[in-house]
Amino acid sequence: MTGCEGAKGGAAHDEAVSSLSTVVTFCNFSTPQAAAVFRLAPGSGACSRVPLGFPHDVEGCTGITGNEERIYVLCISEGMHHLVALARDTLEFIFSQPLPEIKEGHSILAQGEHLYVVSTGTDEVIRYRLASKGLSDSRAVWRASLAGIDTHHVNSVALWEGNVVISAFGPRFGVLWTSALEGYIHDISRDVRIKNGIYHPHSLSVRHDRLYYLESHRKLFCSLDGPLFAVPGYPRGVCWLSDDLVCIGSNVGRRLSKSTGLIANPADPGAATGSCGITVGDVTRGRHVKRLDLGWVGGEIYDMLAESKSQG
């Protein structure tokens, strides 16, 4: 496959994003794959595999972040999470390191001399000291609970107004994650709750000091002021192409209700619905610009990073 099928959209927006590309991570493959990271040009729809340089096939990649020099990817292979570092300009392999203390890792954030990793399976955010050849000095800097297991489903981490913020589903009121109705965004630097009552928040992102998130169960892309537009499927994964244009991952989810249109987390039971791809949205006009089909790669996008360094 040499490109992404189903590219549609206006010529003006294609021209505006033609020189931009994003790095997209996929997760939850049915069998381990050699490639779980792809470079995508939203303007043209061109798509190519990014070799991780990792010696084993991976079950998926559930986090990506970057600084001026490097891109970091969180992947899982043979039951253990690993951090892979790539050169920012060439995407060439630099190093990999196992992270045995991370359980069900979701989302990472490089900030200065530190790397933050969400350890969803232990309700924690783990911080490492980040150096040129690897990570050291791991410690839990915030816990949603003391349970040591996944009770809040903490799932993304970002930097907003100089503070580290996370999103989480909140506790379940039943067996399935569909019963987690009180999701939230929390500032873990100051231990301050930013927003409550979100139905499956994911993928915090920041543009010009404004904080955005996905309300995945309701298929919405939102700012703290409210919803901006709907997204197909079970949305997860966000990156910005410009001040107006945002890329959002759309995933195969589970049908919760035909009458309400709600889509459940892919991990919950139910009939599969939706498709895997990228939706490019215009936040100024509150509408979609184009849709790119990535179902030939897999069913679930987890995270994205714009290759341009001038984000935020």
* CATH code for the domain of 20: 2.130.10.10
φ and ψ at residue 185, rounded to 5 degrees: -115, 130
pLDDT grade for 295, boundaries at 50, 70 and 90: confident
d(CA 221, CA 199): 12
What local confidence, expressed as pLDDT, does residue 269 receive? Answer: 52
pLDDT grade for 6, boundaries at 50, 70 and 90: very low
d(CA 127, CA 2): 38
Using alpha carbons only, give the angle 118, 122, 126 rounded to the nearest 5 degrees.
40
Running DSSP on this structure, what letter comes out for residue 90?
A: T
Q: How far from the centroid of its chain's Cα atoms is residue 108's Cα?
A: 9
3-state DSSP call for residue 86? Answer: strand
Is 234 a member of any domain? yes
pTM: 0.89
User: How is residue 264 written in tokens?
Assistant: 């459940």
CA-closest candidate to residue 153, choices 141, 140, 166, 170: 170
What local confidence, expressed as pLDDT, does residue 15 receive? Answer: 53
Find the domain containing 132 and state its range. 11-306
Cβ neighbours, 10 Å, residue 132: 9
What local confidence, expressed as pLDDT, does residue 44 receive? Answer: 79
Q: Which positions ≥6 away from 188 have C-beta within 8 Å?
A: 125, 141, 142, 163, 164, 165, 166
Q: Which positions ≥6 away from 51 have C-beta within 8 Å?
A: 34, 35, 93
Is 246 a member of any domain? yes
d(CA 59, CA 35): 9
User: How is residue 166 written in tokens?
Assistant: 């996370």
pLDDT grade for 211, boundaries at 50, 70 and 90: very high
Q: Which parts of the chain fold into alpha helices (H)?
A: 11-17
Reported as half-sphere exposure (CB side, CA atoms, 13 A), residue 133 has a value of 0
Is 172 a member of any domain? yes
Is 311 a member of any domain? no
pLDDT grade for 298, boundaries at 50, 70 and 90: confident
178-203 per-position pLDDT tens digit: 888 899 999 999 999 999 999 999 99
Tell me, what amino acid is at 175?
V
Q: Which parts of 148-252 fold into alpha helices (H)?
A: none
Is 4 a member of any domain? no
Number of domains in the chain: 1
What local confidence, expressed as pLDDT, does residue 46 receive? Answer: 84
φ and ψ at residue 231, rounded to 5 degrees: -130, 140
Is 3 a member of any domain? no
Is 297 a member of any domain? yes
d(CA 165, CA 163): 6
Sheet containing strand 134-143, strands side by side: 105-111, 114-119, 124-131, 134-143
Is 2 a member of any domain? no
